[in-house]
Every structure is written in C-alpha cells, then in structure tokens.
Homo-oligomer: A and B are copies of this chain.
Amino acid sequence: MSVIMTGKDLAARILGGDRRAVARAISKVEDGSPDLPGLSEALYPHTGRAYTVGLTGSPGVGKSSLGEQLVRAARSRDKTVAVLAIDPTSPFTGGALLGDRLRMQAHATDPGVFIRSMATRGHLGGMALAAPEALRVLDASGKDLIMVETVGVGQAEVEVASATDTTLVVVSPGWGDAVQVSKAGILEIADVFVVNKADKDGAGDAVRDLRNMLRMGPKLGWTPPIVKTSTVNGEGIDELWEAIEAHRTHQESTGELEARRRRRVVEEVRSMVAFHLRERAASIADGGLLEDLAEHRIDPYRAADILLKQLIDADRPGA
C-alpha cells in the first residue's frame, strides 16, 4: 500500500469504507490540513445518510460506559457505528482519556465499529468547526450511526454534542440536585435525558428533579424523555435506544430533522467565514493601532472600527 494518498484517492477510499483512509482524513481535520477543501468537495455530496447522536454530561456520570452499551445495542440491530470522542486539548487529560477509550477495546476487531478520539491540533476553527467535518468523513464512510461523546461539559464539547440529530444529556444520582443540574447549563440542549447509574441510590430523586425542571422550563414541541440506565446490569439500554428512535421519528415526521441539519450547516459556514476574517484581521492589525489601544488613547469600539475598515480595504482588488 502506498504511503502517499492523493486527495481524490483518499476520498474514494473513504467512500469505500477504508478504515485507514478514514483515520487519515480525521487526522487531516485535526491538523487543519490544506487538503480539507478538496476532501470536503469530494465527500459532501455523499453525506447526510448517517444519524448522529451526541452524548454529553459532567465528568464521572458514566458517558463512556453508556456509549459502549449503545454501540452494542446498535450492533445487535445490525447497524454500523462510529464513535468520535472529543478530547479537550489539555496537557493534563491525556491519561484519563486513554483509560476511557480502553473500555471500547471490546469492539476493536469488529469491522462494523470505528472508534476514534479527536483533538484539535491545528484546525483554524477549533473543535466547533473540526468536529462537523470529522462527522462528515464518518458519514461518507457509510456508518449508519455516529456517536459523538464528550469528556466533560466545556464549551466546545457541549457545542459539538448538541450539533447532532439527537443529543443525550447524561446525569447520575450522585451528581447533585436539580439546582446543580440546571446551573451547568446543559438542560436546554437535551433531546433525551439519561439518568445513569440507576442501580445507585437517588436515581429516582434525579428523575423527579429533572421532571420538575422540565415543567418549569418553556413548552416545547418535543418533551425530552427521561430514561434510567445502568451500565452494570444493562438496565434501560433498550429503552434508551427506543427513546432515540422515537426522537428520530418525531423529527422526521415534523420535518425538524431536515430543518435542524440545514441550520447547522448554514451556521457552520457562517462560522467558517467569521474565523477566516478574524485570522485576516489578526494579520493586518497594525502595531500603532494596538499600541494606541493598549495605552488607552483609543477605545475598543473605535479600534474595532478602524480594524474593520483596514480589513475591507486590504481585500479590495488592486489594493
């Protein structure tokens, strides 16, 4: 096998489901490779078939084990699965993440399962822009279900997990009362709530708290169901699978799935434009302006105005 793959060759291999090609493409996404526009052009027409599920929640609630059981549930229904684990780029977390990933080793030899953790090493737009690209690579490779699992509830992680067709928010009985849950700011993004570790004391309380909070919130077209699961005894995994399917059916019948996907990709393109312009703004910012700003001679609003004008002028043909 040749070490070098051209863009077209790589795209063709991904569309054929070649695992090494998929892995390589995701590395390119992580790095923000210059090959990405070409790859995107070749793959994008072949995307939109996979169903995506996001898994988020605080550290320690058991997201990884739950993800592993959902992989099993998918495989027992003859669905192929990809898992993308979002790795916050922290110098402190390497070991912890690796440990989590090891639990997925049970599926390492199953060709119907592709597991990959992902960091952003050089991608211009950070995880928020890198993850949708990686999802499209997995989608184009022919996987039926793609799960995005986050380690914690950081900004990029929540953003990424909620940019899916169905978002699962996982809590555990030990995590705290309803007030703490709401403070984390992840209630609003849930399509399905999972109270994991249902074998532990307090699971019923967590369900009741969530139910009360949902009652306090705004009325929605879809009321997120609350599913109790235990990855120790497998309790609730089938119910969780059915809740995901029910949400999918609801969205398909209302047209919301298509509408949501459209909003996501439009939003993504706008972010790409904004990031691009921001990089450009950084490159043209002249020292005098920033010095005046730092010395409190001009205020941030005026500095932004000047910078904006310079940016537009710099881009005019003949300038």
Which residues does A use to contact B, with CB under 8 Å?
A: 36-37, 40-41, 43-45, 47-48, 58-60, 88, 90-93, 96, 132-133, 151-156, 158-159, 176, 179-180, 182-185, 187-188, 213, 216-218, 261-262, 265-266, 268-278, 281-282, 285, 290, 293-294, 296-304, 307-308, 311-312, 315-316
- Choice from B88, B96, B273 contacting A304 with Cβ under 8 Å: B273
Q: Is the CB of A285 within 8 A of B270?
A: yes
CA distance in complex: A187, B112 (Å):
37
CA distance in complex: A283, B56 (Å):
32
Q: Is the CB of A300 within 8 A of B268?
A: yes
CA distance in complex: A63, B80 (Å):
45
CA distance in complex: A303, B44 (Å):
12
The number of times this chain is found in the oligomer is 2
Q: Is the CB of B281 within 8 A of A270?
A: yes
Given contacts A44-B296, A155-B155, A296-B45, contact A88 B185 (CB under 8 A): yes
CA distance in complex: A300, B216 (Å):
38
CB distance from A49 to the nearest CB of B (A): 11
Given contacts A40-B299, A44-B300, A285-B266, contact A308 B90 (CB under 8 A): no
Closest-by-CB residue of B relative to A294 is B262
- Choice from B274, B300, B312 contacting A312 with Cβ under 8 Å: B312
CA distance in complex: A238, B34 (Å):
53
Taking A44-B299, A268-B300, A312-B312 as known contacts, 18 extra A-B pairs with beta carbons closer than 8 A to each other, sorted by chain A number, are A58-B184, A59-B184, A90-B188, A91-B216, A92-B188, A92-B216, A96-B182, A96-B183, A133-B300, A152-B183, A152-B185, A153-B153, A153-B154, A154-B158, A272-B304, A274-B274, A274-B278, A276-B308
Question: In this complex, which of A47, A276, A301 has the most chain B Cβ atoms within 10 angstroms of its Cβ?
Answer: A301
Q: Is the CB of B294 within 8 A of A266?
A: yes
Instruction: List residues of chain B with CB within 8 A of the CB of A36.
Output: 301
Q: Is the CB of B307 within 8 A of A182?
A: no
- Choice from B176, B265, B294, B300 contacting A60 with Cβ under 8 Å: B176
CA distance in complex: A159, B43 (Å):
35
A-B contact pairs, 27 of them (CB 8 A): A37-B301, A40-B299, A40-B300, A41-B301, A58-B184, A59-B183, A88-B183, A90-B182, A91-B217, A92-B188, A93-B182, A96-B182, A151-B183, A153-B154, A153-B184, A155-B155, A266-B294, A269-B304, A270-B278, A270-B282, A270-B285, A270-B307, A273-B307, A273-B311, A276-B308, A277-B277, A277-B278
